[in-house]
Amino acid sequence: MLVKALYQWQLADSSEADLLEQFAATPEYSGIDQAYFQALLRVTIADAPALESIVAARADRDMAQLDAIGRAVLFIALSELRQRSDVPTKVIINEAVELAKRYGPAESHRFVNAVLDKVAAATLGRQLG
């Protein structure tokens, strides 16, 4: 659900408040960890410029060439890596790859995996930025 919210944020320039209201009205919302969704949406939108810099420094292509789904998945994973020290890095990367496979264009999961592997290898103690 967070991938969809961040996709919409990128394409429609929806506000955080609008996204929270819209997604809270969906039937799926009652089945997710709402506090986690809200917190990760909030921090991801707030940190988007920093997250974009992290991706740009490790990507083999220009950010303008990155599709909205790939960007959303990378931003979610990077936000989790920065904010959720209780979640193992490998779990975050694996989930991001699976999201890219499920929602992204063909082969986008390879790009997501490569970028996140570089981020993980370059950071000690998960201090990203």
| pLDDT recorded at residue 127 | 46
C-alpha dist (Å) from residue 3 to 10, 80, 102, 122, 125: 11, 13, 11, 25, 26
| pLDDT recorded at residue 122 | 81
User: Cα–Cα distance between 35 and 124 in angstroms, integer?
Assistant: 28
pLDDT, tens only, 87-116: 999 999 999 999 999 999 998 999 999 999
Q: Comparing C-alpha atoms, which of 34, 3, 6 is closest to residue 99? A: 3
Question: Can you tell me the mean pLDDT for 52-64?
Answer: 88
Q: Into which CATH architecture does domain 2-122 fall?
A: Orthogonal Bundle (1.10)
Tokens 């990077």 map to which residue? 78
- Does the reported pTM lie above 0.85? yes
Q: 63 pLDDT band (50/70/90 cuts)?
A: confident
> What residue ranges do the domains of the chain occupy?
2-122
